[in-house]
Amino acid sequence: MGGNRAAYSPARLQGASHLILLKQHNVLFLKPRKVAGTSFEMALSRFAGRGDIITPILPEEERERIRRGYAGKRNYRYRPWELTRRQLKPVARELRYPYKFYNHTSAHEARERLAPGVFDKALKVSIVRDPFDVLVSQFYNQGHANDDPAAFANWARTHSKFVTVNEKQYYCHGEYVVDHMIRYEHIAEDVARLEALRPGLAGLGETFASFSAKAHFRPSNTGPQRMFAGSDGLVETVRFLAAPVCERFGYDVPR
């Protein structure tokens, strides 16, 4: 139905977790935050067909993938026969169907809302990043320009929630559900492995490398080793909160 300007506001879409289902390739991408996920999402849309599911991104990013001739947002709203009577009321008032897949779509929601068996049979793909680096990246994504470790530490002590924000894309009722995890630090290698698993996605890595969506400014001397220096308590907090990811993927205290 008709567009909804609020649906594309930066507050709603910036850094959000989206979903792409490529039915022909049987690939489901669960998109986390601050992992180059938008660039990967845009690259994947090159391989999407008419019946696939692609959730919206920011308007300027949507325009870029359309300019390249890739598939745009589609099939992310409820269809009329899927709605309850209560959900139908806003349709008559606002002339639009509500989102079925939207910002912060978790693995649990994806499993519930996809057709029976689709979630379990699909190759579930996501991206993981060193949680210490994720927290630094979030600091700059929030608009900070200060490269002082003390300023970062003060902010991080009240924003530790960002350390675990991506776990809902990796776990469903406590069960780890990702079949192919792309490590941010080895992204080219792991995307190449995905291409080997799904030959129909040949060229994905090259397409991904051509994007730089949401490349926010971050000073070059703001690696985790420097930004966490002298903040032992903060280091322990991050290590505790991110223990499942650290243990599974070998992330350790910044040194």
User: Which phi-psi region, left, alpha or beta, contains residue 97 (left: φ > 0; alpha: ψ -120 to 50)?
Assistant: beta
Interatomic CA distance for residues 78 and 97, integer angstroms: 6
Interatomic CA distance for residues 194 and 178, integer angstroms: 13
**pLDDT tens per residue across span 12-50:** 444 344 789 999 999 999 999 889 888 999 999 999 999
**pLDDT tens per residue across span 82-133:** 777 666 666 666 666 667 776 567 899 999 889 889 999 999 999 999 999 9
Q: Which amino acid is at 101?
A: F
At a CB cut-off of 8 Å and minimum separation 6, what does 46 contact? 65, 68, 70, 71, 203, 204, 207
Q: What is the DSSP string of 66-106?
A: HHTT---SBS-BPPGGG--HHHHHHHHHHSSPPBSS-TT--
Question: Are the C-beta atoms of residues 76 and 56 closer than 8 Å to each other?
Answer: yes
Question: Are the C-beta atoms of residues 177 and 108 closer than 8 Å to each other?
Answer: no
Question: Are the C-beta atoms of residues 151 and 222 closer than 8 Å to each other?
Answer: no
With a cut of 50, say whether residue 190 has pLDDT above it. yes
The residues with which 21 forms a beta bridge, in sequence order, are 28, 53
Residue 83: both structure tokens together: 């709605």
Q: Which amino acid is at 98?
A: P
Residue 217: both structure tokens together: 């400014």
Between vectors from CA 252 to CA 206 and to CA 161, what angle results, nearest 5°?
Answer: 85
Beta strand segments in the chain, E: 19-22, 27-30, 53-54, 123-128, 171-172, 175-176, 180-183
pLDDT at 45: 96
What is the pLDDT averaged over residues 151-173?
94
Question: Are the C-beta atoms of residues 149 and 226 closer than 8 Å to each other?
Answer: yes
With a cut of 60, say whether residue 148 has pLDDT above it. yes
6: confidence class by pLDDT, cuts 50, 70, 90 = very low
Q: Give the global pTM.
A: 0.85
At a CB cut-off of 8 Å and minimum separation 6, what does 166 contact? 17, 32, 33, 35, 126, 128, 134
